[in-house]
Amino acid sequence: MGRQEGAQVSIIIPTYNEAPNILNMLRSIREHVSRVARVEAIVVDDGSPDGTAGIVREYMRAEGQAEGYSVDIVQRRQKKAGLSSAILHGVRRAAGSVIVVMDSDFSHPPQVIPRMLEALRHQCDIVVASRYMGGGGVVGWPLRRRIASRAATAIARVGLGVEQSDPMSGFFAFRRSVVRGLDLDAIGYKLLLEVLVKARGARIKEIPYTFTDRAAGSSKLGARTVIDYARSVWRLYRGGARRRERRASVRFASKAARFYTVGALGLGVNWLVSMLFAGGGGLWYIHANIAGIAASVATNFVLNKRWTFEDVDFGARRTLSQGARFAAISSLGAAVQLGAVYMLVEHYSMPHAGALVLAVAAASLGNFALNKTLTFRERLWS
Ligand code: GDD
Ligand code: MN
């Protein structure tokens, strides 16, 4: 690999209380990266009380400016104000056309950076250094932390449709042009996740590396991180960021699951309303039950319309005609269910409990299929 003149690389290094690490990090980056590119290291410090910034300034004076290598520090904020936003401050300051983001505690080995830059040169816009693909790994994390990381990764992959193996990685590189024009919230820790979700059309590659837990200092992740993560996933999800699932089988199963969930909720509504009217309301139990059924059909309809079938058009005519079809199909389902229970018990001598389970399953499957096609005008298998 020859040194790339012209293509300057900016390496963003956020720090909070990294006095034991930062000096060695800057030296290691210089050793491993300035051989292959012109490098600008940008430390973004949030007023670390342990004097991290002072150490960086001293380094800048003593050995920080050399041919093809420079160090800069951004000290915009007086106190710890979040990793993602710190990174964005660095990105704004960066002069390079290529940007690398990494931690300053040696969990992200600088030796990997030349491979990331190499990958960026060949037809891709974002390179993620991944712990969770073949050849990658994590060393030194307690089980609790491993589980939390895997769970967060699974949420991003399933909930937001992200395809990469390690969207939670804090170690990544990208062409500056990728984030230009993106509206980034930068909540919490997960800047990469936000970029992956929002940078549509970007070509993304992953390369494996081994994350080693820090030897000096302590992690800045806390309970706050979990809350921030939930907020940021929710916002990305609401932002329509969820990529549309292409497999019909998955879409069908997901809608059926939602339909059954609504059905179960409806049972609860039915029970609650029946009890309320029969007990406090003093109604005859059959009348109370009718009120319960009506209430649950109404709530089921609204939930299925909005959630299961993702129909946001609540125009009066459309909603009324859909509601009527939904109610008719529900009654049909009830009739089918009664008939099936009767048949199974009388003709096949099944115990009532088992017959009920079968009949409910059959009727709700029928309900689902009919509502999908007739009420909400979707194809059955789509
Ligand atoms: N400026 C600034 N402001 N820097 C911060 C802040 C902040 O609020 N919070 C953390 N940092 C710096 C730390 O000094 C360190 O260099 C880096 O960001 C990562 O923080 P750690 O506290 O070491 O994170 P971790 O090792 O527990 O978590 C790692 O794994 C996560 C994935 O599981 C990091 O790589 C995360 O980025 C990653 O998401
Ligand atoms: Mn760390």
Residue 222: its pLDDT value, please? 81
Which residues contact residue 360 at a Cβ distance below 8 angstroms, ignoring those fewer than 6 apart? 337
User: Tens of pLDDT along 50-107?
Assistant: 999 999 999 999 987 778 899 999 998 888 888 999 999 999 999 999 999 999 999 9
Which ligand is in closest contact with the Cα of 132? 1
Element (H, E) at 42: strand 37-45
Is residue 228 in contact with ligand 1, taking CB distance under 6 Å? no
Q: Residue 12: left (phi > 0), alpha (psi -120 to 50), or beta? A: beta
Nearest ligand 1 atom, CA 220 = 22
For residue 42, how many other CB atoms are within 10 A of its CB? 24
Q: How far is CA 15 from CA 49, 77, 102, 275, in A?
A: 11, 12, 10, 59
Indicate the top mutation candidate among 103, 168, 191, 210 to test ligand 1's pocket, ranked by most ligand atoms within 8 A of CB.
103
217 lines ligand 1 (CB under 6 A): no
Angle between the N-to-C axes of helices 83-93 and 191-198, in degrees from 0 to 180, rounded to the nearest 10: 70
Start and end residues for every CATH 3.90.550.10 domain found in the chain: 9-223
Q: Provide the pLDDT confidence category of residue 7 given band limits of 50, 70 and 90.
A: low
Residue 1's pLDDT is: 43
Task: Give, in words, the CATH class of 9-223.
Answer: alpha beta
194-239 per-position pLDDT tens digit: 999 999 889 999 999 999 999 999 998 888 888 888 888 888 887 7
* Average model confidence (pLDDT) across the chain: 91
- Indicate whether residue 48 lines ligand 1 (CB < 6 A): no
- Strand arrangement, sheet containing 69-74: 69-74, 37-45, 4-15, 98-101, 172-175, 126-130, 204-208
Work out which ligand 1 atom sits closest to the CA atom of 17.
14
Tokens 């005859």, located at residue: 284
Q: Can you tell me which residue has the tokens 């300034």?
A: 57
* pTM for the predicted model, two decimal places: 0.68
**Ligand showing the shortest atom-to-Cα distance for residue 84:** 1
Tell me the CA end-to-end span of the chain in Å, nearest whole number. Answer: 49
pLDDT of residue 67: 81
How far apart CA 57 and CA 49 sit, in angstroms, is 15
> Band of the pLDDT at 2, cuts 50, 70, 90?
very low
Sign of the alpha-carbon torsion through 354, 360, 365, 369: positive
